[in-house]
Structure 1
Amino acid sequence: MLALLPGMGQAGPDGAALFAEHCAACHAENRLGGTGPALIPETLGRMFGPALEQVIAEGRPATQMAGFADQLSAPEITAIAAWLGTPLAETPVWTAEMANTSREMSDTYTPATAPVFSGDPMNITLVVETGDHHVSVLDGDTFEVLDRFATPFAVHGGPKFSPDGRYVFVMSRDGWVQKYDIWSLQVVGRVRAGLNSRNIAMSHDGQWLAVANYLPQTLTILSTADLSVVRVIDVIDRKGQPSRVSAVYQAPDRHSFVLALKDAPEIWEIATDPAAGPFHDGFVHSYEASMEEALGAEEGLFARRRIDIDEPLDDFFFSPDYRNLIGTNREGTKGEVINLDVGRKIAELPLPGMPHLGSGISWMRDGHRVMATPHLQEGVLSVIDMTDWHLVQTIKTDGPGFFLRSHEATPYVWADVFFGPHKDEMHVIDKQSLQIVRTLNPALGKTVAHTEFTRDGSHALVSIWEEDGAVIVYDAKTLEEVRRLPMNKPSGKYNVWNKITFDDGTSH
């Protein structure tokens, strides 16, 4: 793996060969992404030189990216980083026409007039099994597996349900979006909406699905009816520079999508209904430091509004009424509250240690709504009063966590300890006293993470996040184990009712 370095008369490490050996399994040989993101100049943004070398050496918090400092020398790491900065022979493109050509609808799908199973269709829970790229469909009353279907490679970002709970959509890191009919227990079809994608969001009325893309740097709008591409929106900031889309969020009360941009100090809001929400005539004129741009022909459908911010924000959390957005800066040293009605920052939150706001939750405590977030680099949970945005308390945990979950019917918050030697623990915290009342250890030495509740909140489902893993069903009142369902590296679990009603305790 030696090559002549530019301007040098001696052999040095071959970055391309080292990438093929150590990186291609996750990022693909063509560098366009697999389980990991695309690694080309168009998607790496500002991450070049020492910053990129540090990630290769030390890994990246809250991702599957492990550090290679114990396997590669400093010159080898430098060679890989330098090679990643070289452009591809041809810049990859993915047009609406190409996406529509990729669309595959099932020839054997037959829509049912009623659920083909006897259980409550609103109490179905989907379990994403990342070990072999499948989703299991659980009956939330009996905990029987009703179906297990194959998904595209490396599902990412959480499934999204239609407002009636009948259909669910999943997305893979390589841009495939798949539609599944829960009533019929059948795959409907799939389409490739991008080449390297982040997540999806459902419109308030269930007509549109938005796909956030790193590559190309676009937002793709799909029709949920047939997965056809109805709009591709190029994401370009005020200065004319393209930006990756970190994530797209559904804001049903506002009849819009909200975008986090990776490379631009802007937040975008995209209208999903031209006659309601923040884009109607009586509201749009009250915006401060914002603008509306018609990108569609149907009276402002998919119109864009920009909100200028001081620096790029990521990992959004929303107040239940979707008036306030809380995001974190790139360094993960603070939180900022952006009021979407007036289009500007109204508060700054003391949240060091890389808060994971995207898995934050909220609930009522002493007559005030509070929110809580884990921190990816500190063993604490921060609890914030959403009335005046002051820090109520930090709850010390046994290590950094990744997910929080609760339910309006339970007095507890469930918090995992995803990182470090206590990864086999699950803290159960009282929502009023903010004290840890019990620490569960269901699988010693294995990663225990991500809780989801049944529709009525009577049971909590927890993942053993391993290849030979399981979903553990707990009685949410007694905190005793009820059942253990073997699964292949189960990650996220998603209950239909909790997701379509935006239940308290569920991240949105």
Structure 2
Amino acid sequence: MAESTGAFVAPASLMGTGDLGLIIERATGSVLVINTTQHSVLGRIEGLGDLSHASVVYSRDGRYGYVFGRDGGLSKVDLLTGALVNRVVQSGNSIGGAISQDGRYVAVSNYEPGGVKVFDSETLALVVEVPAVYVGKDGGPERSKTVGLVDAPGNRFIFSLFDAGQIWTLDMAEPTPQIHRLEAGEAPYDALITPDGRYYIAGLFGEDGLSMLDLWHPESGVIEILPGYGKGEQKLPVYKMPHLEGWAVADGRSFFPAVGHHQVLVAAMDDWSLLEKIDVQGQPVFVMASPDNRQIWVSFAHPRNDVIQVIDSETLEVIKTLEPGKAVLHMEFTPRGEEVWVSARDSNRVTVFSTRTLEPVNVLEAEKPSGIFFTSRAQTLGL
């Protein structure tokens, strides 16, 4: 088992960042800088605040990671020097963020106060603030939690308003940022953008279905897809909301976690019709495709969150059940998909699995690890 240390191991010579990444240590407000090729921990960066629901995006060159903390903290870290470059506390409660297509702007999605703030990626100076204000039931102004923030082509950010049931687009390409508001389904809780950047899809907690916006034709408005996918079935308690950002596209089909059901949903990408429901061992949280689209890896919510199940994308059958440790929280594929790293919070470890053999090849120690984010995300829309 590889041990993590507090001291940062500076590279002995010039190096790139293509095989580096960050692992969130949620209980200690720190991140581990790791090397995926060597299965090594370069060191720990501390002082990042509350990382209980943290995520990371990267600068275009993969050198800097922008860490979004639950306490509203936005931290910029240097993966090559192991330094905390800058940190701002920009809200009372935040829930992730995104970096613009050109790398100039970093946006943060906030619960409290509800809205989105956009910062200069170099200096972390505030560029624009977008309060998520909508007309409430009594006719007066109210402020909504914002969720599902992603970057989109055209230097846009797209996000959803949980309380308002709306989807907003923020165009940063114009001299003055432009906001467009569209009505969506009830209580969007998370969202994704398809790999080609065309479709923005928000999961709905208030109803069985999803809201979709075609960014090529936004004038068509938001449409509902997979309506009533749980109709006639008894819903189960939801202990942890699914994460749509880790959705899967494989073989012309999309794979979604079902809310309140022990199922992975399979939909056709041409007309978004429901094709199949795959029964799994618990309520899915992350449903992720390997880079070659051959496998779908699924993690689960409490209380059955100590396992991972692997689905064959062609046969739609569960082919392997793995036990990486207690309280599995996140998975991340290496850029070309030969391995997947899996964090187990309550076992204080990250296990590296071979996607060919489905067997563990290494284990790294970490303090209450959660999110795993590799620098290959710097070149991917929506991540």
Q: Which amino acid aligns with 1:322?
A: G
CA RMSD of superposed structures (Å) = 2.4
Q: How far 1:477 sits from its partner (Å)?
A: 0.7
1:398 aligns with 2:281: yes
Query: Which of the numbers 63, 68, 77 marks the counterpart of 1:166?
Result: 63
1: CA distance between counterparts of 2:243 and 2:330? 15
Larger CA Rg, structure 1 vs 2: 1
State the SS of the aligned residue for 1:402: strand
Deviations 1:432-453 (A, max 9, x none): 111111111233xx22342211
2:82 and 2:324 mapped to 1: Cα distance?
Answer: 31
Task: Report whether the alignment pairs 1:488 with 2:367.
Answer: yes
Partner Cα separation in structure 2 for residue 247 and residue 122 of structure 1: 29
Matched residues in 2 for 1:181 and 1:442: separation? 29
- Equivalence for 1:344: 221
Q: 1:180, CA displacement in angstroms?
A: 0.6
One-letter amino acid of the counterpart of residue 373, structure 2: Y
- 1:90-239 correspondence to structure 2 within 5 Å: 120-150=16-46, 151-237=48-134
Answer yes or no: is the 8 Å Cα contact 1:460–1:474 preserved in 2. yes
Query: 1:233 Cα deviation (Å)?
Result: 2.3
5+ long unaligned stretches in structure 2: 1-9
Measured at CA, do residues 128 and 478 of structure 1 come closer, stay the same or move farther in structure 2, by a change above 3 Å?
A: same
- The match for 2:248 is 362
Residue 316 (structure 2) pairs with residue 434 (structure 1): yes
Q: Alignment length, in residue pairs?
A: 359
* Secondary structure in structure 2 of the residue aligned to 1:122: coil
SS at match of 2:356: coil
Q: Which amino acid is the alignment partner of residue 306 of structure 1?
A: R
Compared CA separation, residues 447 and 225, structure 1 to 2 (3 A):
same
**TM-score normalised by the chain length of structure 1:** 0.66
Deviations 1:73-123 (A, max 9, x none): xxxxxxxxxxxxxxxxxxxxxxxxxxxxxxxxxxxxxxxxx9766665111
Contact kept in structure 1, 2:22 and 2:32, CA below 8 Å: yes
Q: After TM superposition, give the deviation of residue 465 of structure 1 in Å.
A: 1.9
SS at structure 1 position matched to 2:153: helix
Are 2:243 and 1:243 equivalent residues in the alignment?
no
Q: Is the 8 A contact 2:148 2:192 kept in 1?
A: no
Match of 2:336 in 1: 456
Which residue in the other structure is 1:257 paired with? 157
Report the Cα distance in structure 2 between the residues aligned to 1:442 and 1:432, rounded to whole angstroms: 25
Contact 1:154–1:173 under 8 Å retained in 2: yes
**Aligned-pair CA distance for 1:241:** 1.6
Partner of 1:272: 172
User: For each residue in 1:376-424, what CA deviation from the matched residue of structure 2 results, as whole angstroms up to 9, or x when unmatched?
Assistant: 422111111111111121111111121122332362111123333x422
- Which residue pairs with 2:6 in the alignment? none
How far apart, CA to CA, are the structure 2 residues paired with 1:479 and 1:330?
33
Q: Gapped runs of 5+ residues in structure 1?
A: 1-113, 275-297
Q: Return the letter of the residue paired with 1:146.
A: L
Partner AA of 1:328 in structure 2: G
Q: Distance in 1 between matches of 2:260 and 2:98?
A: 28
Provide the C-alpha distance between the structure 1 equivalents of 2:146 and 2:13, rounded to a whole number of angstroms. Answer: 38
Label 1:118 to 1:140 Cα distance change in 2 as closer, same or farther (>3 A).
Answer: farther
Letter in 2 for 1:450: H
Distance 1:393 1:338 in 2: 23
Structure 2: how far apart are the matches of 1:116 and 1:202? Answer: 30
Cα deviation for residue 357 of structure 1 reads 5.2
Aligned letter for 2:370? S
Report SS of the residue matched to 1:389: coil
SS at match of 2:270: coil
Tell me, in whole angstroms, the C-alpha distance in 2 between the residues paired with 1:426 and 1:371.
19
* Residues 203 and 235 (structure 1), Cα distance of their counterparts in 2 relative to 1, 3 Å cut: same
Contact 2:55–2:69 (8 Å) recurs in 1: no
2:263 to 367, 375, 380: 380
Preserved contact between residue 374 and residue 382 of structure 1 (Cα < 8 Å): yes
What are the Cα deviations for residues 145-195 of structure 1, in whole angstroms up to 9, with x where unaligned? 112111212353411111221211112222111101122221101011112
Partner SS state of residue 121, structure 1:
coil
* Higher relative contact order (CA closer than 8 Å, sequence separation 6+): 2
SS in structure 2 of the partner of residue 500 of structure 1: helix
Structure 1 counterpart of 2:56, one-letter code: P
C-alpha distance in structure 1 between counterparts of 2:360 and 2:283, whole Å = 24
Cα pair distance change 1:215/1:306, threshold 3 Å: same
Partners in 2 of 1:316 and 1:137 — Cα distance? 28
Cα distance in 1 for partners of 2:213, 2:128 equals 27
- Partners of 2:186 and 2:206 within 8 A in 1: no
2:196 to 285, 299, 321: 321
TM-score (norm 2): 0.86
Residue matched to 1:335: 210
